[in-house]
Chain A
Amino acid sequence: MLESALSGKTIFVTGATGFLGTALVETVLRTLPETNLVLLIRPGRAITAEGRAEKDLFRNNCFDRLRDQWGSQRFRDEVANRVKIAKGDVGTDGLGLDEEGQRLLANSDVVVHSAATVSFDAMFDQAIEINLLGPTRVMHAYQQARANPEDPGHFVSVSTAYVAGSRKGDAPELSLTEQPHYPDIPWQQEVNAARAQRTSTEASSREPDTLAELRSTALAELGAAGVALLSEKIERLRAEWVKDEMVAKGRARAQSLGWPDAYAMTKALGERLLESERGNVPLSIVRPSIIESALRDPYPGWIRGFRMAEPIIISFARGLLKDFPGVPEGVVDVIPVDLVVGAILTAAAHPPESVKHYHSASGSVNPLKYRQLVGFIRRYFSENPLYDEIGQAIAIPEWTYPARGQVESTLRRSKRLVDTSTKIISKLPLRSNFVEYQDQLAETQQGLERASSYVELYGAYAECEAIYLADNLLELASQLEDEERATIAMDPRLIDWESFVLTTHLPSVVEHARARTRPKSSAPKRTSREDRLRASLLSGHRMAAFDLENTILAANVVDSFSWLATASVEGGQKLAIAASLLAEAPQLLALDNHDRSDFLRYFYRRYRGAELEELERKAPEFLTGYLLRKSFPLGLARVRAHRRAGHFTVCITGALSFAVAPMAPLFDQMISLEMTTDDNGRLTGEVPGALPIGEARGDLLRKLAKSNGFEIEETIAYADSTSDLPMLEAAGAAVAVNPDTKLRQLARRRGWLIEEWSRAKGYGNIFLPIGGQL
């Protein structure tokens, strides 16, 4: 019946690269041999629509079954013969179709519109454009292209069961206009308001106050990383700020009208607009509830992308989410993706007179209780626990089914605690082993952020007590012939929840999340990753650039000045010079943190009047008594390992040339600062030109790479602080050496190698930089 009804027909599909769309395309190819497809696909910036179809759709493991069954040659032929690609975009009026595209649309017997922004935290205006205006845009394009009063075709729109709003009780399969308590608001005003809010939010994001706040956030994260990186970061923060504002505005508006969020609200208004604009085109609206992994087809457990329930389940299994709001006897309305596809295709085969609604939902006919689901999840993870960093099984928390407010405030409290600790730690000048703790903290912080966003996003859904009636759906299902039921599933009563959750859904979720399901093998995994990284850095055609201070040596300009200044004076004076510098240290540190160039120029003025020749005479003693004793042997070994591997090594430092000259032979090239001298060979205290600091360091790296015949991808940068970020970011590979708190966080996020290099043991930690004692 289904096969014959759709035989020889063409289905036009939007949203084919999505979760539902992918399953739909696969099912048509597999079960309806006489049915053809036209897929509306938006070309990417660097990829054609056809390329995207190949990459984002047909390469998905959804098609593995067909490939196995048919062999890859037949699979390619079938796709080539039966699937046409129309370039276009549901966000544009007329869908942006070219002539060929319009012809394809005109010849399509059914349109399945499944393109939507499914994220519950979409920005308000975006949700309006896509969910509210999108379906009608497709409908109008269809009407215009088809222009055939005899056969107006058929339009199947995929909506959501949650258009019913945060109501309690039965939700029937009717137009929203026919339902009680439906807020009858003019859609046009909502569209205008959302667009106006976008404009005003964009404007207020550029207000000086907002920008100042964003700047201080960026500064706190990056430190003195230089103007270019800082401004880039601020701009990124501003975009995020706008997004957050628009999401919050959408949610507020939706909740004021009785929907859990902007997603449900825009979907609801979209349905209504579509109903009023359909003209004489028969319209089927399919409203799935929460779509989850496949029950049967293409294979049990197939899922695409990380969807709504999965992150929550994983957070729970990882022990991050101790609780999730919900009513234990409430119904969790979940529906496997293949059942939704079945409903859509069967609806497509049965065009209604005018408009018909179907709930593809399990809640009324085969309900899964929240308590039941939690029981399955607990059972599954007690038998198959996830493992933490150090390889111990994570215990499953006991759920208490609290109200949403409770969970939120608990999460807020822990988050505040962790945030405060992180802030305090990032202000302390800690390095190396002190910051191990900070790594754990950062991980917990991210986990908590995620967990609380889930509660915020999905809490309203879990608390939703509406029952989605499915009479129309069951009637539609009864139209399937017996043999068709073997290939097309759509009846929610087919689901055995226990077996589905335990043997199909959860294993698939865990596999998808790449969670650690085995205790660690005896060789620690982290080390092996680091060793691999190290080995890769030491191979190939490379240029390695090293910062000097705190990367190769535990030295700084103040220390080295103190050493050189005290080297030439007698006993008592030595102490006086060192002591006065120590007293000045906090002030100098503050200046350094604010702007490294200013600090260096300010500090270097102290060398004014010193005899260069005298300083150069001190070089051997300086090498032994200061530079080498402050060096990191592993750092020196790394430079030498690069040289042994035939790499070009360069040191880029803001130190003065005479203060680092003895280290120069370690590298192929050393870039340091030259201080000018007067006619008597005395230093002027002035350093001409731009200092190799901040973004200048990034530019320098690029220049050096070019002049030495390296691609930028072949460069490696080693540095210790966020002020070196421009160089680290510019390089093909970055290594954070003894990173400070901020850089450590960044390095972890970017997956950079982190090295902890320390001075050779044997000398005390307190080391007054006093020279002339050898």
Chain B
Amino acid sequence: MPRPGFVLEVDRATPPTLFWHGESFRLERLPRGSRILYPPEPLNPINDVRAAIEKALDNPVGDAQPLSSLLNANMKLTIAFDDVSLPLPQMASPDIRSLVIEAVLERAAEAGVTDVALIAALALHRRMTEGELRHALGNRVYNALAPRGQLTQHDAEDKPNMTVVGETDRGELVELNRRAVESDLLVYVNINLVSMDGGHKSVATGLASYDSIKFHHNVDTMVHSRSFMDRHNSELHSSNWRMGHVIKEAGVKIFQIETTLNTATFPENFRFLAKREWEWNLRDRGSFIASSEALKRTPPHLARQIFQSVRSPYGVTGITAGEVEAVHEITLERVYQQQLVRVDGQSDILTLGLPFIGPYNVNSIMNPILVYCLGLGYFFNMYRNKPLVRKGGVLIMSHPNRPEFDPAFHPSYVDFFDQVLSETTDPLVIESKYEESFARDPWYIHLYRTGNAYHGVHPFYMWYWGAHALDHLGGVIILGGDPKTTRRLGFQSASTMADALEMARTIVGSDPSIMHLHSPPLVMADVY
């Protein structure tokens, strides 16, 4: 029986705490009285995943028919699936998507469906490489569909192959992938790693165009999403739900299949990462020392390769199929069951260790804008009710924050950093002054469509995702961050935790309360 998460109060006996620090770790001693939020242990996974899939397909929830009864020989079937941004790190084979899609394809074959298309629901993310597609879908699916052109990746800039579905009552444009909309059935296969994923967001964002996405990916929406991890208090989700209703009313038939994973994130040799520090045995200590010493001697780009090749031994905790909203409510319950921990009271200072990976740098570099987004977007928003840190408090996050960029995956990020952040870090100014020109830039569009580049507008979304935190916080300090790069983000850097706390005290007062959000694995705070 896995133990639930809990909040530890640091005392004399507490050993130093592990912090992620990009492609390495730090052990930091937090002041006595600080609190550490420990995640729950991984839930027990489903043993027979294939059987669970069959069961879900045959017993859909909500107002939905079993999958087999929706299939017939003359139909047009489209299966859309979450892209490489999920899960993190990539899942050890077989990826849950490949299992679900195989099952769906088998039923389609039984029903004699010939017009089948697979679409990677990229939204404005980069196209996946062949290797990534093979990993997510499995070689069998890939080899069966790719050579015949039945496997494509969503292209939000391919206007002839996009179609306007309608507008919400608030005037939000819904423009989606034409093939998906015009199919007799759209099956969506998701991985719900965190509570923001899935639901109507899968189709309304994953298969949409920039002109549609911009209605919810903007500063105003993000500031009013408190948090965007809490679907019922997130304006981002409200907008996607409105769009979902428009899609449904337009007659698009969606069969949503959502899956949830436990938090068994790292393989055996990184086992110490998932354990609480005072429970480390000799072997854990040994492997911690060995890996952190080895990483110190490894050039960053090699350390990155090592970490990016990690495949997570995730276990599947649930598979639900059927009508979008009904499915998603069950999914959320499962996610919360794995990740949610109750916390009493906010703190003056929140500390975080930022890992080597986020949704947008799979097989690539965590550039400074992604560092910002991971800290102020993702981790800060891992809360329900209230943020872990009080209004005007300080966020201290640990990461080397080097000025490194991937010019192939993140070309517009390079220019965003050089040309936009050098002028301003104010999300509203950035949005009104620069977004349009990056979004419509033909070179970025060329790279998005033909290479593997994120859309030109993507770094702006990263900036908006931190808008709520920027609005809420009194200061941000990057522990161990490259000073020049950190200043460009509008933050301060500190070389030691003691320095960082000292700097934070000048903002929040001399006797601050401190909360550390321990990761890995993922944890979400329910703050009262």
Contact = CB atoms under 8 A, between A and B. Distances in A.
A300 interface: no
Contacts of B407: 628-629, 631, 633, 636, 759-760
B443 A640 contact: yes
A624 B406 CA distance: 10
Contacts of A636: 407, 411, 443
Contacts of A633: 405, 407, 411, 414-415, 418
Interface in B382-414: 402-409, 411, 414
A774 interface: yes
B408 A629 contact: yes
Interface string B360-379: 00000101000000000000
B160 interface: no
A762 B447 contact: no
Contacts of B450: 619-620, 623, 662
A437 interface: no
Contacts of A628: 407-408, 411, 447, 451, 453
Contact of B405 (A620, A760, A773): A760
Contacts of B415: 633, 637, 640
B418 A624 contact: no
Nearest to A664: B446
B452 interface: yes
Given A760-B404, A764-B302, A774 B451 contact: no
B302 A623 contact: no
Contacts of B403: 761
Contacts of A762: 300-301, 365, 367, 402, 404-406
Contact of A760 (B131, B299, B406, B443): B406
Interface in A663-682: 665-666
A18 interface: no
A636 B414 CA distance: 10
- Of A624, A665, A774, most B-chain CB atoms within 10 Å: A624
Contacts of B443: 636, 640, 665-666
A760 B443 CA distance: 18
B442 interface: yes
A91 interface: no
Nearest to A767: B301
Contact of B301 (A621, A666, A764, A773): A764
Interface in A748-774: 759-764, 773-774
A328 interface: no
A636 B415 CA distance: 10
A625 interface: yes
A624 B414 contact: no
Contacts of B442: 665
A357 to B, nearest CB: 73
B130 interface: yes
A764 to B, nearest CB: 4
A619 B302 CA distance: 26
A620 B442 CA distance: 16
Contacts of A637: 414-415, 418-419
Contacts of B300: 762
B14 interface: no
Contacts of B127: 620
A620 B418 contact: no
Interface string A586-614: 00000000000000000000000000000
B408 A621 contact: no
A624 B404 contact: no
B129 interface: yes
Interface residues of B, number: 32
Contacts of A666: 443
B405 A623 contact: no
A633 B453 CA distance: 14
Contacts of B408: 623-625, 628-629
Interface size class of A (residues with CB under 8 A): 20 to 34
Contact of A624 (B299, B409, B446): B409
B451 A620 contact: yes
A640 B441 CA distance: 10
Contacts of A623: 408, 447, 450-452
Contacts of B302: 764
B273 to A, nearest CB: 24
A124 B226 CA distance: 90
Contacts of A774: 129-131, 452
A238 B242 CA distance: 82
A662 B406 contact: no
Interface in A628-680: 628-629, 631, 633-634, 636-637, 640, 662, 665-666
Contact of A764 (B299, B418, B446): B299
Contacts of B418: 633-634, 637
B402 A761 contact: yes
Contacts of B129: 621, 624, 774
A633 B365 CA distance: 15
Contacts of B406: 629, 760, 762
Interface string B305-335: 0000000000000000000000000000000
A761 B300 CA distance: 11
Contacts of B409: 624
A760 B453 CA distance: 15
B284 to A, nearest CB: 31
A665 to B, nearest CB: 4
Nearest to A626: B408
- Of B365, B407, B447, B450, most A-chain CB atoms within 10 Å: B407
- Of A619, A625, A762, most B-chain CB atoms within 10 Å: A762
Contacts of B452: 620, 623-624, 774
Interface string B450-481: 11110000000000000000000000000000
A343 B461 CA distance: 84
Contacts of B441: 640
Contacts of A759: 407
Contacts of A662: 450-451
A763 B409 CA distance: 13
A629 B301 CA distance: 13
Nearest to A762: B404
Contacts of B447: 623, 628
A228 B289 CA distance: 65
Nearest to A773: B131
Contacts of B402: 761-762
Given A628-B407, A633-B414, A762-B406, A621 B365 contact: no
A662 B453 CA distance: 13
Nearest to A665: B446
B279 to A, nearest CB: 36
A773 B300 CA distance: 20
A619 B414 CA distance: 23
- Of B130, B408, B419, most A-chain CB atoms within 10 Å: B408
Interface in B408-442: 408-409, 411, 414-415, 418-419, 441-442
Nearest to B404: A762
A637 B414 CA distance: 9
B357 to A, nearest CB: 15
Contact of B130 (A621, A760, A763): A621
A669 to B, nearest CB: 15
Nearest to A639: B443
Contacts of B130: 621, 774
A550 to B, nearest CB: 16
A761 B451 contact: no
Given A620-B127, A629-B407, A761-B402, 17 more contacts: A620-B452, A621-B130, A623-B451, A624-B409, A624-B452, A625-B408, A628-B407, A628-B411, A628-B447, A633-B411, A633-B415, A633-B418, A636-B411, A637-B415, A665-B446, A764-B301, A774-B129
27 contacts: A619-B450, A620-B127, A620-B451, A623-B447, A624-B451, A624-B452, A631-B407, A634-B418, A636-B411, A636-B443, A637-B414, A637-B418, A640-B415, A640-B443, A662-B450, A662-B451, A665-B443, A665-B446, A761-B402, A761-B403, A762-B300, A762-B365, A762-B405, A762-B406, A763-B301, A764-B301, A774-B131
